[in-house]
Amino acid sequence: MNISESLRNSSAGPKNLRGAELDDTDRLILRLLQDDAKLPNNAIAAAAGIAASTCHARIRSLQERGIIRGYHADVDPAAVGRGLQALISIRLQAHARANLTRFEEYLAELPAVEGIFFVTGDRDFLIHVAVPDSAALRELVASNLSVRPEVAGTSTAVLFDYVRPGTVRPED
């Protein structure tokens, strides 16, 4: 982002960055689909006050532009034998920045990893994990994280809850 863009974006104007170009109808569609991806197209169309075919075309456009990245079932981790969640803060070795992408890919492959947060500034990040029990958590840290040469140290915080609020409301 260059300086003029930066200045423009920091102004009070309502426009988005990145050729997004969403109108109110798009935003309504996004809100509804985030809430329930199974909502039939004709129901969305009715809610938006447009024809079903128009709604269909808009949704496809949102997908093609990468605004809708996909649709996913939300599965209760506890119900599939992952009743324990934790946040693990990982401090990286100072020299490990170069291979950061490789390490990220490694983390993303671990079945327990639900989310990876890359923090700016520091050489560390956070991972959100879901495991069967505390033994598995210990095992994960010891055998999959601490042993990696990139890792300088870890710090684990057990969660007693994780909540994802309804929607990423466009604007507001």
Give the bridge partners for 127, in sequence order: 88, 116
Residue 51 interacting entry, from DNA, a second copy, none, C-beta within 5 to 8 Å by type = DNA
> Contact 82/131 with Cβ under 8 angstroms?
yes
The reply to whether 40 sits near DNA by the rule CB under 7 A is yes
Pick the closer one to DNA by CB: 58 or 82. Answer: 58
Q: Which is nearer to DNA, 40 or 81 (CB)?
A: 40
- Tell me: does residue 17 bind a second copy (CB under 8 A): yes
User: Measured between alpha carbons, how far apart are the two ends of the chain, in Å?
Assistant: 24
Site string for DNA, 105-144 (x = CB under 7 A): ----------------------------------------
Collapsed DSSP state (helix, strand, coil) of residue 171: coil
Tokens 């309502």 correspond to 14
Q: Does 33 bind a second copy (CB under 8 A)?
A: yes
Q: Which stretch binds a second copy (CB under 8 A): 48-56, 74-82, 138-146, 147-155?
A: 74-82
Phi, psi of 84 (to 5 degrees): -120, 125
Q: Count of CB atoms within 10 A of residue 50's CB?
A: 17
Helix (H, G, I), strand (E, B) or coil at 27: helix
Q: How far apart are CA 21 and CA 23, in angstroms?
A: 7
Q: Shortest approach of a second copy to residue 57 CB, angstroms?
A: 16
Please identify, using beta-carbon distances, which residue of 72 and 164 lies nearer to DNA: 72
Site for DNA in 43-72 (CB under 7 A): 43, 50-54, 56-58, 60
